[in-house]
Amino acid sequence: MSSLLSCAPGPLQGALCVPGDKSVSHRAALFGLFATGPCRATGWLDAADTRSSLAAVRALGAEVSYADGVLEVAPGAGPEALAVRGEPVAIDCGNSGTTARLLLGLLAGWLPPAGPGVVLSGDASLSKRPMARVIDPLRDMGADITCLETPGRLPIRVRGAKLTAAEHHLPVPSAQVKTALLLAGLNAAGRTVVRGGGASRDHTERLLRVMGVQLEDLGDGDLAVAGGQVAERFDIAVPGDPSSAAFFLTAAAMIPASRVTVTGHALNEGRVGALRVLRRAGAQVAIDRARGPRQGEMLGDVTVAHDQPRPFVITAEEIPTLVDEIPVLAVLATALPGTSVISGAAELRVKESDRLALMAANLKRLGAEVTEYPDGLEITGPVRLRGGTDADPVVLETAGDHRIAMAMAIAALTAEGRCALDDPGCVAVSYPDFFTALDGLLNRG
């Protein structure tokens, strides 16, 4: 794969399917571990991140098969089989925060109390990411969790423990933390309450309900779950990932004469914030919901066309609905006439990289007018981004972060001259065929 990116010869046009939703795919792999029977997910995302979850459940005894988009997970021998091992099960979560955080919550009460437990580790990026937001409330429920090197960071050992239900208030509206606590609640004695999830994505709630688990909806995204419930097997279709679609749909909003349709796009309300921003930024956004809901998740066909660009404002309340799309929305802002503002987004500093710092630095390298704040960015456009020459391209830094790489590939399309990504291969974390799909829309594939 070439690291060199040249500017687009023209608009983006056409229709495509994007890979399955990453969040739903992680859950499909992990929840199969505690279902009562074999589970199935079609359209499952086969990428580095979700493979981490699959390898984890396999290491925990699940029987797993994957071919042609169809994942099958059967629970296997169950937690008791792990108790007799002499050594802890070693699980490498790779780059995946979802794998690590969801497993912490799941394993805390699922593992048998007597066994050696599990050691979770991750790559250099994941080893820097905060885990205390999950560990602290789990310890309040009685979880036996030890950080082996640095407090609040991987590597972490989890041993089984008898959990007691608790009432939690999330410090940040995070779906990963909410999920970890709900999964722990399923294995705890009593009724666990999770407040403060707000507008965070609700794929966990939807899949648990498909599995027959009763969740109490307390309003405003607050939830309660009674421990000891049986989770039935599931057979689901994973919709297209809005966070992957966003690169192409945003490029269509940005580049004159573009029109792109993503078919089978997830339309979960907690995931479509970026489409609302594209509309506010003056793009035409059409949503065809004719396909209807499928096993708990909505999907449809989304078409975005360039129209009348204008700047946008994104504030804290909206962030959970577009948290992973902010890098590419920052790229869009460089093409809009006026100042666009992204605030309340401090969480981006603890994603796979410090996404606010990296986006500001990369866009400035291309000549954009960007001010970085502790919790956001202000970007004034329109600015014609400038790359370098074939012999001396502007090198854009990814820090191995897939979403930075894809966002900057879109920026490079609109830049004059040559750009290069320092690590284009990192797109494999969520979208291995990203560059081929982009070429297809540029008609140069």
Residue 244, interface with ligand S3P (CB under 6 A)? no
From residue 312 to residue 331, what is the string marking binding to ligand S3P with x (rule CB under 6 A)?
A: -----------xx-------
- Where do runs of H (alpha helix) occur along 222-378? 242-254, 273-280, 326-333, 355-365
Nearer to ligand S3P, 98 or 380 (CB): 98
Pick the closer one to ligand S3P by CB: 23 or 192.
23
Tokens encoding 305: 């066309």
Q: Where are the alpha helices (DSSP H) in 111-260?
A: 132-140, 175-186, 203-210, 242-254
Query: Which among 73-81, 111-119, 171-179, 331-339 is the span making contact with ligand S3P, rule CB under 6 A?
Result: 171-179
* Annotated catalytic residue 46: no
- Residues near 391 by Cβ (< 8 Å), separated by ≥ 6? none
Check if the beta carbon of residue 251 is closer than 8 Å to that of residue 13: no
Contact pattern from residue 8 through residue 47 relative to ligand S3P, giving x for each residue in contact according to CB under 6 A and a dash for the rest: ---------------x--x---------------------
- Continuous segment of H or E residues that includes residue 406: helix 402-414
* 98 belongs to the binding site for ligand S3P (CB under 6 A): yes
Considering the rule CB under 6 A, would residue 52 count as an interface residue with ligand S3P?
no
Q: Among residues 181 and 442, whose Cβ is nearest to ligand S3P?
A: 181
d(CA 311, CA 314): 10
Do residues 280 and 331 make contact, with C-beta atoms less than 8 angstroms apart? no
Instruction: Assess 131 for contact with ligand S3P (CB under 6 A).
Output: no
- Candidate list 92, 202, 222, 324, residue with the active-site label: 324
421 bridge partner residues: 396
Considering only the stretches 169-177, 217-225, 272-280, 331-339, report the one whose residues sit in contact with ligand S3P under the rule CB under 6 A: 169-177
Applying CB under 6 A, among 57, 131, 175, 184 the residue interacting with ligand S3P is 175
193-222 positions binding ligand S3P, by CB under 6 A = 200-201
The answer to whether 30 touches 106, Cβ cutoff 8 Å, is: yes
Beta-carbon count within 10 A of 217 CB = 11
Per rule CB under 6 A, is residue 170 in the interface with ligand S3P? no
> CB of 185 within 8 A of CB of 205?
no
- In angstroms, give the least distance from the CB of 277 to ligand S3P: 16
Q: Which 3 state secondary structure label does DSSP give 64?
A: strand
* Under 8 Å between Cβ of 124 and 93: no
Q: Work out which of 53, 95, 174, 187 binds ligand S3P, going by CB under 6 A.
A: 174
Residues carrying an active site annotation: 324
By CB under 6 A, name the binding residues for ligand S3P: 23, 26, 98, 174-176, 179, 200-201, 323-324
